[in-house]
Structure 1
């Protein structure tokens, strides 16, 4: 099943969007920021369902912001529905990864999807929180649509023994790609495979015109990924405390509680913009910004009055990880009340972590940070280009973070941990 951008523009007009607006829509930018209001968007989703004969999953629909998102989603949904037992299908089609074979590293090819899905299962069992990576057709479709760029280490037998990827994930800015998923079969971990995969990813990243920058979340159970990323121009910019359940990494020697992740980013295509930062984090944020060469007009604001009445929030729940991520795209006067609701609902649902990414391009950013601090949130970091503008991560953990189990490679990362741990200690006083 596939659908073209031209068809989607026709459906926008059918949903009530003016023809000239629909024709001018950029496929890589959010529809709601290009003259499509929320009523038009809902009508558009219904029109897509009617034309394609496919019912959009409610949770998936929350992630569909751009026309490219719709193209990728509908392409991945070909053959109607995903297999009822994707893990069972991986096992039934299992291809042996033989030790000691020669290998070549390069972009994913048709037919490699099974090997990549097999790697995810071999490393994570059935506990990786995104189902797409257990479905070979979706892996290949996402690559074909440009939402995912997978690099594989392919043995002479054709089996996939390692992989890494750039992919569109949580950032509202779909030109900011996540770097990660570097995995190597145990039989090849004492080889140069991981380094060669990362080197090829580095080369290909310079050829991605759709990318403004990259970020990564390196697990802190070991130093391997941190060392690889450190060599390719990324600057550490935050730490996500207790982000993932240890069960997702039990085959990799995770601790008894939850796994924290180190944030690092690289900006390839910058532009001048305003940055509103809270005075309470002047020292910490100035330190993070030293790692980048950004063209920013920076002001450290007090509790500035927001310019809008109602906040614009986008929410995504990761059930297995017990994590909710909230994107505070616009900060309104109602933000303190909205923050209270988010906090209360997270506690009621038994979440482990609630993350709020604050748009520091918005003049109300300092007010949002203060409201979150009052509810027990602490600093997570600052990620360039997260919204197109930059994003400041505030986080609240409803479990005790295992700070002593965090392994960090660079002195910069260790300094960030000190800042973040000090801020976490503040909320307990």
Structure 2
């Protein structure tokens, strides 16, 4: 439902609603009472009809007052039974020992990809789109998702990987991930072949400036495979996902951490404002990249703006919120306090804040976050266009001993992050 509500917010903007208004709309409240005027409303309804292939009659339109109303209407008429129920009904056995080919997704492969997500994650993957075959194929057609599949000679999908637009505000930075192989083929070279084909395709993606990935730390298999394709470790998201999301994969930790890695293919010269307090860790991360940066270290620089520009997204199942400071303002300490207070009230496990380091104010923001118990997560190139500093706060106890890392470089980054976490705990 969360993903569908986000899609509806995007359609509000397509219909002419101001971005700030659309982002602030509460899903349970009437749209006409939240800045969506009588001209925007019919344009929004037409956009919904176009996106989901609906024809909303006049009687139905009278009952569609909130985003929740629209979401329920779409689910009932377009998606019918639940996506998981449909996967179970259409289940196709993946037979071992068959020949297979690896290549881009074709029409009809969406069903097998959705089944693969369910076989690996159960019903706990946080983005519902990947359980809906038509949505998988639509996203590929739109270029927001590039899926590579391992297709058996009987048409079944036994493995996949993908490049996709996800959290970065810079939509030319694609996430690399979702590499999954059915249990029947995990003793083969299928995963390696998928990643090799993804690497080949990545060099043809002229729309991409770079790529990043989040490799789970319950094992080092994915870390080993991507290490050879030019990615460099740049951070660690501690306790990011509940172990339940990986229970079929044998995860034993209370929560699973993820190693961040990135590859920049099309760089440009730009300023980089960094906090002096994190210098050893950030210098280590920067050593892994060849970036054209005019680096300015500061203990606490001053932001250019009075007000912070912030985007927020919650991942309810994971108990995670990701806040993006597109621009840091003088009010950032108040913003940090609000985020922290609301995280406690909502029972979050993790709060992440990505700080735009392309303008003065990054060190100011980092210092404000450190005072509230945040610790360093990493430095991700071109996240905003400019680079991002990731700061994170945990409201659960981390299990650092459960983090498995492949490279010495990754272990060195963990050492810095773990030390900063200890410092954060000591300040509270």
Q: Specify the TM-score bucket, using the shorter chain as the normaliser.
A: 0.7 to 0.9
Which secondary structure state, in structure 1, belongs to the residue aligned with residue 129 of structure 2? Answer: helix
Q: Quickly say closer, same or farther: Cα 1:113–1:56, change in 2 above 3 A.
A: farther
Residue 404 of structure 1: aligned partner = 401
Residue 238 of structure 1: aligned partner = 235
Q: Quickly say closer, same or farther: Cα 1:400–1:207, change in 2 above 3 A.
A: same
Kindly state the Cα deviation for residue 82 of structure 1 after the two structures are TM-superposed.
Answer: 3.0
Residues 15, 47 of structure 1: 8 Å contact kept: no
Residue 152 of structure 1: aligned partner = 149
1:52 aligns with 2:56: no
Q: Quickly say closer, same or farther: Cα 1:16–1:231, change in 2 above 3 A.
A: closer
Q: 1:271 aligned to 268, 272, 290, which one?
A: 268
Kindly state the Cα deviation for residue 379 of structure 1 after the two structures are TM-superposed.
Answer: 0.2
1:339 aligns with 2:336: yes
1:14-64 superposed Cα distances (whole Å, 9 cap, x missing partner): 8499xxxxxxxxxxxxx88xxx9999x9679746413234579859x9xxx
Residues 15, 47 of structure 2: 8 Å contact kept: no
Residues 212, 268 of structure 1: 8 Å contact kept: yes
**1:98-113 residue pairs with structure 2 within 5 A?**
98-113=95-110
Residues 116, 182 of structure 2: 8 Å contact kept: yes
1:311-333 superposed Cα distances (whole Å, 9 cap, x missing partner): 00000000000000000001011
Residue 366 of structure 1: aligned partner = 363
Q: Quickly say closer, same or farther: Cα 1:90–1:298, change in 2 above 3 A.
A: same
1:222 aligns with 2:200: no
Kindly state the Cα deviation for residue 359 of structure 1 after the two structures are TM-superposed.
Answer: 0.2
1:305 aligns with 2:302: yes
1:179 aligns with 2:183: no
Which secondary structure state, in structure 1, belongs to the residue aligned with residue 79 of structure 2? Answer: coil
Kindly state the Cα deviation for residue 301 of structure 1 after the two structures are TM-superposed.
Answer: 1.6
1:191 aligns with 2:188: yes
Residues 352, 399 of structure 1: 8 Å contact kept: yes
Kindly state the Cα deviation for residue 83 of structure 1 after the two structures are TM-superposed.
Answer: 3.6
Residues 49, 56 of structure 1: 8 Å contact kept: no
1:318 aligns with 2:338: no
1:416 aligns with 2:413: yes
**1:90-169 residue pairs with structure 2 within 5 A?**
90-169=87-166
**Structure 1 Cα separation of the partners of residues 105 and 159 of structure 2:** 11
Kindly state the Cα deviation for residue 256 of structure 1 after the two structures are TM-superposed.
Answer: 3.5
Kindly state the Cα deviation for residue 96 of structure 1 after the two structures are TM-superposed.
Answer: 1.0
Kindly state the Cα deviation for residue 207 of structure 1 after the two structures are TM-superposed.
Answer: 0.6
Structural RMSD (CA) = 2.6
Task: For structure 1, list consecutive stretches of 5 or more residues without a partner in the other structure.
Answer: 1-10, 18-30, 62-72
**Structure 1 Cα separation of the partners of residues 220 and 89 of structure 2:** 34
Residue 5 of structure 1: aligned partner = none
**Structure 2 Cα separation of the partners of residues 392 and 297 of structure 1:** 16
Which secondary structure state, in structure 2, belongs to the residue aligned with residue 371 of structure 1? Answer: helix
Task: For structure 2, list consecutive stretches of 5 or more residues without a partner in the other structure.
Answer: 1-11, 26-34, 50-63
So what's the TM-score if we normalise by structure 1? 0.85
**Structure 1 Cα separation of the partners of residues 190 and 146 of structure 2:** 18
Q: 1:354 aligned to 330, 336, 351, which one?
A: 351
1:240-274 superposed Cα distances (whole Å, 9 cap, x missing partner): 00000000001111124000000000000101111
**Structure 2 Cα separation of the partners of residues 79 and 297 of structure 1:** 53
Which secondary structure state, in structure 2, belongs to the residue aligned with residue 52 of structure 1? Answer: helix
Residues 360, 390 of structure 1: 8 Å contact kept: yes
**Structure 2 Cα separation of the partners of residues 214 and 126 of structure 1:** 27
Residues 217, 263 of structure 1: 8 Å contact kept: yes
Which secondary structure state, in structure 1, belongs to the residue aligned with residue 136 of structure 2? Answer: helix
Residue 200 of structure 2: aligned partner = 203
Residue 3 of structure 1: aligned partner = none
- Greater Cα shift, 79-88 or 212-221: 79-88
Q: Quickly say closer, same or farther: Cα 1:192–1:427, change in 2 above 3 A.
A: same
- Greater Cα shift, 81-90 or 127-136: 81-90
Which secondary structure state, in structure 2, belongs to the residue aligned with residue 428 of structure 1? Answer: helix
**Structure 1 Cα separation of the partners of residues 156 and 326 of structure 2:** 43
**Structure 1 Cα separation of the partners of residues 36 and 273 of structure 2:** 33
Residues 17, 40 of structure 2: 8 Å contact kept: no
Q: Quickly say closer, same or farther: Cα 1:317–1:38, change in 2 above 3 A.
A: closer
Q: Quickly say closer, same or farther: Cα 1:362–1:413, change in 2 above 3 A.
A: same
Count of residue pairs brought into register by the alignment: 387
